[in-house]
Chain A
Amino acid sequence: GAGVSQSPSNKVTEKGKDVELRCDPISGHTALYWYRQSLGQGLEFLIYFQGNSAPDKSGLPSDRFSAERTGGSVSTLTIQRTQQEDSAVYLCASSRSALSGNTIYFGEGSWLTVV
């Protein structure tokens, strides 16, 4: 597509429920990133994919968080048993490859509120 597309754009969920966030990167981009931005905070790296593999999962905050990417395109970020501290904007980004200098383009984000 023309840009990075994320869905849902807004999600309100009850504490303890599972949520799934979807990211469709720019066509042809092999690198895909998930970031989290809590209110008033900087962007926090979560996970990075090169193709379908995730060489770096170091940013996932707990084992309740998982992500996968299939077909080298769409990625889903799953949060199990959501907690209130999971409330944040989850930003997906993609780049042509993970090589230096490739600009990272962001989607509009999925705004998650856990009540």
Chain B
Amino acid sequence: GQNIDQPTEMTATEGAIVQINCTYQTSGFNGLFWYQQHAGEAPTFLSYNVLDGLEEKGRFSSFLSRSKGYSYLLLKELQMKDSASYLCAVRPIDSGAGSYQLTFGKGTKLSVIP
């Protein structure tokens, strides 16, 4: 089975740094995605990790440790527009049957306050 855990809600101050954690237990692993979803809108892609380590992309960074089943999304220099839900999603290992769907966590609702 697949199980992905993220904190339900977080609050942080404008200009600060926030780390959103994600732990997963899946039947296989073939990559982890982070998506941002503003209220009432579709998710948008932020990052993809398949190897251990840190991937940096502007103000956003994502870290993966496969041995620990753990990832985090780091947001620096927070802006009010960063208030959104952040979804962690794991792609299970490719199988002969071709099961390539992403399994999503329930998302972390981040509120950025002045």
Residues of A within 8 A of B (CB): 31, 33, 35, 41-45, 48, 50, 55-56, 58-59, 91, 98-101, 103-109
Contacts and interface: CB of A to CB of B under 8 A. Distances in A.
Nearest to A111: B40
Given A91-B42, A101-B31, A43 B98 contact: no
Q: Is the interface of B mostly helix, strand, loop or mixed?
A: loop
Contact of B45 (A44, A45, A91, A105): A105
A48 B99 CA distance: 8
Nearest to B2: A45
Contact of B99 (A56, A105, A108, A109): A56
A106 B45 CA distance: 9
A55 B97 contact: yes
Interface stretch (B10-18, B60-68, B70-78, B101-109): B101-109
Nearest to A3: B42
14 contacts: A31-B100, A42-B104, A43-B89, A45-B101, A45-B103, A48-B100, A56-B98, A91-B42, A91-B43, A98-B100, A103-B48, A106-B42, A108-B42, A109-B42
A104 B91 CA distance: 11
B48 A58 contact: no
B87 interface: yes
A42 B41 contact: no
B101 A59 contact: yes
B23 to A, nearest CB: 15
Given A43-B104, A48-B101, 15 more contacts: A31-B100, A35-B104, A42-B87, A42-B105, A42-B106, A55-B97, A56-B100, A91-B42, A91-B43, A98-B100, A99-B94, A100-B31, A100-B91, A106-B43, A106-B44
